[in-house]
Amino acid sequence: MKFNTIGIITKPQAETARKTLQSLFEFLSDKDCKVLVDESIPDAINTFNFEKVSREQIGERCELAIVVGGDGTILNAVRSLAHAQVPLLGVNVGRLGFLADISPDELESSLEDILNGSYREEQRFLLEMQVIRDNKVIFEGDAFNDVVVHIRDVARMIEFETRINDEFVNHQRADGIVISTPTGSTAYALSSGGPLLYATLDAITLVPISPHTLSSRPLVVDADSKIDVLVCNTKEGIAQATCDGHLSTDVHVGDHIKVKRKENKITLLHPKQHNYFEILRAKLHWSEHS
């Protein structure tokens, strides 16, 4: 596929990415393509005076969106472009990321290959979450990593019931629950004791956070499952439901948090030599000798 129009996305506070962005801009300025930059990129960084557009226009007009930053920047970009068909490519700034896997040192060589059609493509899904109160939708949002239900600010127990496809699963007392995509299995779900899922697997993980009983274990279900978490008791704390740790709303006793797979998938591009297990080894320090 030829990428005629390329969009550039980064954090508004892009000082840490400035050098990488300049290298990227210089590289693309010599290519036979149109470059659009996210309107949040300061003019002082957009030294080539590329056209500044909204995130929505990047989704509508571009064949490729390059995201410069860390995994958090990619999560933000994915949520904003989930409705579009534009593939995303992550250029890592800072620590090694699970999603942004092109290092600044490899920027030109990797991009040259990708623009010439040599790349690996992955289809990944998001979750969509609704909070239902008195049979009305009071909040909704998308998550690329996870939907989390927990007590806000302090570590207190929350009681909740879980149903999957309208079938009762269990009643739990825990600090909360993480409902995760395979992409998010390396994030909060992992630190809560959940399993690692291969990134393109069609599955959703439900991981209790510090459950009151040791018999409460992570559960992996088909990605077509419809999940319903009913808030039963918040122990005088204020509970909230959160998408990717970013979009959040308070939830009350009696609220239903409904989660299912989003219909639109996102496409991630990787260099041809991309190896998911190599990233896992590096991030999780596997195979190290003491």
**Catalytic amino acids?**
71
Compute CA 40 distance to the chain's CA centroid, rounded to the nearest angstrom: 20
- Whole-number Å distance between alpha carbons of 157 and 211: 9
Sheet holding 5-10, edge to edge: 51-53, 34-38, 5-10, 64-69, 88-92, 266-271, 119-124
3-state secondary structure of 2: coil
Q: 84 in the Ramachandran plot: left (φ > 0), alpha (ψ -120 to 50) or beta?
A: beta
Compute CA 249 distance to the chain's CA centroid, rounded to the nearest angstrom: 18
Are residues 55 and 9 in contact, defined by beta-carbon separation less than 8 angstroms?
A: yes
Phi and psi dihedrals of 284, rounded to 5?
-100, 5
Q: Which residues pair with 147 in a beta bridge?
A: 179, 243
- Alpha-carbon distances of 175 from 164, 229, 237, rounded to whole Å: 20, 14, 11
Question: Beta-carbon neighbour count of residue 135 at 10 Å?
Answer: 6
